[in-house]
Amino acid sequence: MVRGTAVRRVASDARRRQCAGSPRERGMGAPLLLALLAAARAGEPNATNFTTLQPEDEKTPLFPPDLFTEEQRRSGAVFLHVLGMGYMFVALAIVCDEFFVPALDVIIERLAIRDDVAGATFMAAGGSAPELFTSIIGVFVSFDDVGIGTIVGSAVFNILFVIGACALFSRTTLSLTWWPLFRDCTFYSISLLVLIYCFRDSMIYWQEALVLFSLYGAYVLFMRWNQPVERALKKLIYKNKVTRVRSTDQLMPTYLYYNQSQIYLNQEYEL
């Protein structure tokens, strides 16, 4: 503000000297007067600055340049981009169906892994591969935070939409066992709480990233003892469960053994 006032004062003095001088001097002082007026306007606090400065923390995306100009894209070259996207989608489907899924089936068969454990580890890693590469491109190429929204949003999509669509369009009744659903929802809730805590200051440090990675390692390690934990938990739940019977006949032992045309009950005495 002080600088702008001083420049305006100098411009006013130059205007008075120009008016008092000869015509030649007035003609020579016109450029100087215009320069001083421009400097005075630039020093005002409400002056409009048409120079757009890029923030220091904002980076230019590293996408390769387009093969077509804007005029060519308007003339129909954008259709080639759409055609390329469709080709990549078809190629991704072929690679997954013909190579990736059979390879996972062989690994699961060789390691003798249950279907729910395989779906939570190998199948989940394969299904989340596109999201992984999308996040890598968003962080290191486009310098955007699209990766977090893609991962969290796709998880909600898989839980709600995929299961609902499968149940809606299935020709048979789908039966879901409670243990895999309880196990995965528990770990997912814990991971969301940890993620919210890590995002409390809108930044993730390497220690927090290591905690998130270790949490997934704990989940994979838990899957190693999935069956013993499931049996122990079911034994604890059904320990005091009372079974309804319709008559006293159902209280008799039902394990019968056939030996040399004689029927023995599973007790100490013989009929």
Along the 271 residues of the chain, how does pLDDT read in single tens digits?
444 455 455 455 555 554 544 444 444 445 554 554 555 455 544 444 444 444 545 567 677 788 888 888 888 888 998 999 999 989 988 887 888 888 888 888 888 887 777 877 787 777 777 777 777 777 777 777 666 777 777 778 888 888 888 888 888 887 778 888 888 889 989 998 998 898 888 888 899 999 999 998 899 889 888 889 989 988 888 876 655 555 555 545 444 444 444 444 444 444 4
- CA 205/CA 199 separation, integer angstroms: 10
Domain membership of residue 15 as a residue range = 2-42
Among 139, 124, 143, 223, which residue's Cα sits nearest to residue 183?
223
CB 271 within 8 A of CB 264: yes
Q: What is the pLDDT of residue 42?
A: 52
Q: What is the pLDDT of residue 190?
A: 93
CB 18 within 8 A of CB 30: yes
Residue 159 falls within a domain, yes or no? no
Look-up of token digits 């159902």 = 250
Q: Which residues of 123-136 are buried (b: 16+ CB within 10 A; e: fewer)?
A: beeeebeeeeebbe
Residue 197 falls within a domain, yes or no? no
What pTM, to 2 d.p., does this model score?
A: 0.56
Residue 48 falls within a domain, yes or no? no
Residue 184 falls within a domain, yes or no? no
Residue 77 falls within a domain, yes or no? no
Residue 135 falls within a domain, yes or no? no
Residue 31 falls within a domain, yes or no? yes
β-strand partners of 263: 258
- The conformation of residue 120, written as its DSSP 8-state character, comes to H
Axis-axis angle for helices 23-42, 2-20 (nearest 10): 170
Long-range contacts of 101-110 (CB under 8 A, 24+ apart): 101/126
Residue 153 falls within a domain, yes or no? no
Q: What is the pLDDT of residue 16?
A: 56
Total tally of structural domains belonging to the chain? 1
